[in-house]
Copies of this chain bind each other. A is one copy, B any other.
Amino acid sequence: MSIPIPAGYRFGAVHCGLKSDPELFDLSLIVSDCPAAAAGVFTPNLVCGAPVQVDRSRLPGEGFRAVAVNSRCANACTGEQGLRDAETMAALASRSVGGEPAQGLVMSTGVIGTMMPMDKVRTGITAAAAKLAATPSAFVDAARGMMTTDTFPKYAGKQMQLDNGKEIRIAGMCKGAAMIAPKLATMLAVIMTDAALTPQDAQMFIRTAADESFNCITVDGHTSTSDILLLLANGATQSTPLTGRDLQRFGETLQELCTELAVKIPQDGEGVSHFITLDVQGCKDGESARKIARKIAEDVLVKTAICGADPNWGRIVSASGTAGVPYNPKNVSLKLNGYELFRSGEPVPFDKQEVSGNIRENRNTHIVLQFGEGGADVRFWTTDLTQEYVRLNSDYTT
């Protein structure tokens, strides 16, 4: 896969001793050679990690030079010391490329409630800074350094031509295994572009893109302490902040990129046997559609049914009724992998063996739930719930 690396960014990843396997990267450094505008979207969890607190206090803003990312330790529920450690990590990252402490950012996932091993992290950041490169392989290595129990590095990139003819690039990397990997929570993503954006535009676009992508994936409904999505815009290719039609098209491209990245998270499920695409259609408004989709996508009974190739559509319809969204049940219809099982509030006779066989044979499951309330649609992505998932998530933290 050829990745269009945005100009003016470099990447370094090392093993600094956080993961037990010395072959695995566990610390990544992402730097921008010129100061970048940055914006972020953070976990709404009240119990949030120290990196979330540090980054949130700085963003949206300008002048950022570096992001330090580590796996294995979330630096969450770690009190005042944890906050100092996160600030130190951001400062070390920025200083490693000649920046000021406040020009750094930090992202961590891993076990909650253990202190960050700062000796290892300090050594790691220095080593990663010595390896910085702008190559695709350095980019992929940085994506590897974020991984916890992800089975593959997750990244994507896009190019876009501005009205003035210049090609700008947007690339991103993310990790996510929240649900699959018990102890090693959660979602992190960094998007980089070599266009310039005002911090306000960056913030608005990353928020909108997140709502239609990362906020539409769910595996276990547990919003972690550590979720961070960052957007960096360094203007290395296009130094005047985007406006008008360019800005609008940038937003669309960012949206596509975020969706591409987000979908990789539920697709990479250890213990997952089905990847589920859920379309909720015909709702009064987007918020209603989203609430219903989330309720279904997180429902344990729906997820175990799909795992067992059981076309038990009653669970899906029933879950939708508990979302707190008013609708007329007589206008509800449901399709599963193309088979219509429920039409206008009445069951449709179907061949259970055939539909079950269809679910069993396809890793991708497609549910379409149609309401008669309006024109708002939403698409969510989730996974089934398997015995293997439970086995993985029952493992002891040590």
Interface residues of chain A, those whose CB is within 8 Å of chain B, are: 44-48, 74, 76-79, 111-115, 179, 182-183, 185, 220-225, 299-301, 304-305, 307-315, 317-322, 325-327, 329-330, 332, 342, 345-347, 352-353, 356, 385-387, 389-391, 393-398
Instruction: Give the residue of B312, B389, B398 whose beta carbon is less than 8 angstroms from that of A397.
Output: B312
Say yes or no: B182 contacts A317, CB within 8 Å: no
- Bound CA span A222–B296, Å: 10
Chain B residues within 8 Å of A387, by CB: 387, 390-391, 394
A222-B299, A318-B224 are known contacts. Are A305 and B347 too (CB-CB below 8 A)? no
Chain B residues with Cβ under 8 A from A394's Cβ?
304-305, 307-308, 310, 386-387
Contact A222/B397 with A47-B329, A77-B342, A111-B314 known, Cβ cut-off 8 Å: no
CA distance A313 to B47 in the complex (A): 13
Set B79, B301, B311, B345: member contacting A220, Cβ < 8 A:
B301
Contact A47 B112 (CB under 8 A): no
Copies in the complex: 2
Cα A317 to Cα B114 with chains together (Å): 14
Not counting A113-B313, A113-B342, a sample of 11 additional A-B residue pairs whose C-beta atoms are within 8 angstroms of each other reads A46-B329, A76-B314, A77-B317, A79-B330, A79-B346, A222-B319, A307-B390, A352-B398, A353-B398, A356-B396, A386-B390
A42 to chain B, nearest CB (A): 12
A347 and B221: CB pair below 8 A? no
In the complex, chain B residues whose CB is within 8 Å of the CB of A46 = 320-322, 325-327, 329
Establish whether residues B393 and A314, one from each chain, have CB atoms under 8 Å apart when the complex forms.
Answer: no
